[in-house]
Structure 1
Amino acid sequence: MTTGLLHVDGATVHFEQRGDGPLLFISQSGEGDARRTTDLVDALTDDFTVLTYDRRGLSRSVLDDPERPVTMADHADDAHRLLAHVADGPALMLGCSFGAVIGLHLAAHHGEQLDTLIAHEPVAPWLLDSEADAHRRELAELQELFATGGLTAALPAIAASLGIDPANADTEPDLTPQPMDEQRRTNFAHFITTEFTALRADPGCRDHLATTTTRILPAAGRTTPATVFDHQAAHRLGAVLDRPVLTLPGGHNGNTTHPRAWAAQLRTTLHTH
C-alpha cells in the first residue's frame, strides 16, 4: 500500500493506493474514511489499483479552517484534484451514498476524468423533484436529533431513513471489525453536522448529467426497501439517464456487509463495460 497527502483548496487530503491494474477510485459512504471498505478493497486488488481517501474533515484529511462550511463543490473539487494527481487517464469510480453524489458532480463537471461511475444509492435530494424539500427537512431533523441526543439518538434514525435494519443484519462471514472508536465517532459528528448541511444546500448537477462523457451506472441494494429515500434516488437517476439500475448484494451498506459479492459483481460489470 502507498499513502500520500495532497494539498487542496482549504484542506490537506490523505489518500491510499493498493493493488494492480486499471485505477478504481472509491468514494465512501457516511463517515467512512480511506479504510472504511478494507474487505472490499482486499477483494479487488488483484484486478484494480484501488484508490481511497479520507474526505476533507475526516480522519487524516485536515481542514485549514474548521469553522468554514464544507460544500459539495469542495468535495467534487477534491476528487477532481486527487484524480489529476494520481491518474494517467480516465479512471473507474465507485461512489457509495454520499460518495455517489461526489461522483455525480465529478462526472458532470470533469467527465473526462472518469470512464465509468457506479453510483450506488446517492443521497441526493435534488434527484427527487417534488419530494426533494421533504428529504432536506428529514436531514435537518436528523441533525437536530444529533444535537439534542447525540449518536445514541441519531444513528437508529439515520439507519431507518436509509432502510437499514441493524436487528436483521445479513452479512458475509469473517468481516474486518469496524468498532465505534473515538475516531469513528468524531467522523460521524462531522458527517452529520457539516456534510448533511452540504447535502441540504446542494443544488445538484442534473442538467449536466445527460451530456457528460462519463458512463454512469445507477445502482441500488437488493434489500433496500423501495420506499426509502436512497432507493428512490437511485431509480430516479436511472430514469434521468434512461438506464437500468444495477442491483448489488445487501442493502445501503452492502459495500461493507457483502464485500466479496460486491467485488465479484463490480469486476464483471466494469470489465463488461
Structure 2
Amino acid sequence: MTTPTVTTGTLRVPGARLHYELRGEGPLVVLVAAPMDARSFAPLADLLATDHTVLTTDPRGIFRSTVDDRDRDATPELRADDLSRLIAHVDAGPAAVLGSSGGAVTALALAQACPEQVRTVIAHEPPLLDLLDDREQQRAETEEIVETYLAGDHVEAMRKFLAAANIVMPEPVFQQVFGGERDAQQIADDDFQYRHMLRPTAYWQPDLAALRAAEPRIVVGIGEESGGQLCERTAKALAAELGIEPTMFPGDHIGFAGDPVAFEPRLRDVLRGN
C-alpha cells in the first residue's frame, strides 16, 4: 500500500490552537480520542485514506494542540465545538465520526450539539460512569485516582486507573510502559489529562432523549476482547439507554491502534451500515 500524503494544519479556535491532519479523498471520516493524540490513529487513517478523506486531531491541551489557559477544563462540550469547527474548516462534511474512549464522549457531544455535521457517530467504549448502577463507587475511585496523581505519584495513579477499568497488565509490562522516565511533553499531557480531562469526561451526562432523536446514526462500539472491563459496562449501558444493540469490533479498548489491519474492515462495514 502506498502511504498517503498527510497534510497538517493548525486551526485557531476559542481558547486553543488545534493541530489536525488530513489524508486521502472521499467521504469525510473523523477519528478522535481523548486523551490520546492523532498519532494513535495514523495507521488506521492510512488504510482508510484510499477512498476517504480522513481527519485526525490532537484534543485541546494535548501534545500539539495548545490551550491559552491550562487551568481550564477540556469538557466534552468544548471538545465537540472544536470538532465542529474542524469539520467546517476542512469543508468536507457531513462526517462519519469514530470516537474512542474519551473521544467517544466528544463524538456524542458533537451529535447532540451539531447533528447536521455528522451522518454517523461510532462511540467506541465511552467511559460514561453515571450510566452505571454503581456510579457512586466509580466516581469515588476516579477521585482517588486524581488525588493520587496530584499527590505526586503518577505511577500509582495509573495503577489505580487500570484497576478501576478492570484492565489487567502483568507487572513487568506495566513497569516497562509506565515506570520509566517521561519526557516533558508526556508530563504535560498527563498533567492536563488528570487535572482537566478525566473527570469532565467520565462524569459527563449525555442527553439521551436528544441522542435517541438525533438525525445522525448512533453506533455504540465494544471491543471483542474488552469483556469484563469498565468501558464494556458503560458502553452496554449506553446502548441499552438508546435502545440499540452494541456493535462489536476486533481487539480491546484501543483495538484501532493495537491491530488497525483487523479493525479497518469492520469499521468499513459499519460505515456502510452493515
Q: Calculate the TM-score normalised by the size of structure 2.
A: 0.87
Q: Give the match for residue 265 of structure 1.
A: 266
Return the alpha-carbon distance in structure 2 between the equivalents of residues 185 and 19 of structure 1. 33
Matched residue type, 2:195: T
Cα separation, partners in 2 of 1:256 and 1:161, compared to 1, 3 Å: farther
- Indicate conservation of the 8 Å contact 1:119/1:217, yes or no: yes
Q: Give the match for residue 131 of structure 1.
A: 134
What pairs with 1:46-65 in structure 2 (closer than 5 Å)?
Answer: 46-65=50-69
Of 121, 124, 131, the residue aligned with 1:117 is: 121
Q: Give the match for residue 188 of structure 1.
A: 190
Q: Secondary structure at the match of 1:251?
A: coil
- Output one character per residue of 1:15-36: Cα deviation in whole Å (capped at 9) or x when no partner: 111122211101114x311212
Cα separation, partners in 2 of 1:32 and 1:165, compared to 1, 3 Å: same
Give the superposition deviation at 1:70.
Answer: 2.8
Q: Does 1:107 align with 2:111?
A: yes
Of 15, 20, 32, the residue aligned with 2:20 is: 15
Return the alpha-carbon distance in structure 2 between the equivalents of residues 107 and 256 of structure 1. 24
Return the alpha-carbon distance in structure 1 between the equivalents of residues 216 and 182 of structure 2. 36
Return the alpha-carbon distance in structure 2 between the equivalents of residues 15 and 33 of structure 1. 10
Q: Give the match for residue 174 of structure 2.
A: none
Identity of aligned residues (%): 35
Segments of 4+ moved more than 4 angstroms:
none
Q: Secondary structure at the match of 1:247?
A: strand
Q: Does 1:241 align with 2:242?
A: yes
Any gaps of 5 or more consecutive residues in structure 1?
A: 169-178
Aligned-residue RMSD, C-alpha: 2.1
Matched residue type, 1:229: L
Cα separation, partners in 2 of 1:200 and 1:159, compared to 1, 3 Å: closer
Q: Give the match for residue 176 of structure 1.
A: none
| Alignment size in residue pairs | 261
Any gaps of 5 or more consecutive residues in structure 2?
A: 1-5, 172-180
Matched residue type, 1:55: P
Of 159, 163, 172, the residue aligned with 1:156 is: 159
Return the alpha-carbon distance in structure 2 between the equivalents of residues 184 and 260 of structure 1. 27
Structure with more relative contact order (C-alpha pairs < 8 Å, separation 6 or more) = 1
* Deviating more after overlay: 216-225 vs 81-90: 81-90
Cα separation, partners in 2 of 1:49 and 1:181, compared to 1, 3 Å: farther
Q: Does 1:253 align with 2:238?
A: no
Of 131, 139, 143, the residue aligned with 1:140 is: 143
- Indicate conservation of the 8 Å contact 1:127/1:206, yes or no: no
- Indicate conservation of the 8 Å contact 1:39/1:259, yes or no: yes
Of 94, 101, 105, the residue aligned with 2:98 is: 94
- Indicate conservation of the 8 Å contact 2:76/2:106, yes or no: yes
Q: Give the match for residue 89 of structure 2.
A: 85
Q: Calculate the TM-score normalised by the size of structure 1.
A: 0.88
- Indicate conservation of the 8 Å contact 2:235/2:246, yes or no: yes
- Output one character per residue of 1:103-148: Cα deviation in whole Å (capped at 9) or x when no partner: 11111121111111111100112333x3333322222111112223
Return the alpha-carbon distance in structure 2 between the equivalents of residues 245 and 200 of structure 1. 20
Q: Secondary structure at the match of 1:117?
A: strand
Return the alpha-carbon distance in structure 2 between the equivalents of residues 123 and 87 of structure 1. 30
- Output one character per residue of 1:193-227: Cα deviation in whole Å (capped at 9) or x when no partner: 2101312553432231111101011011111133x
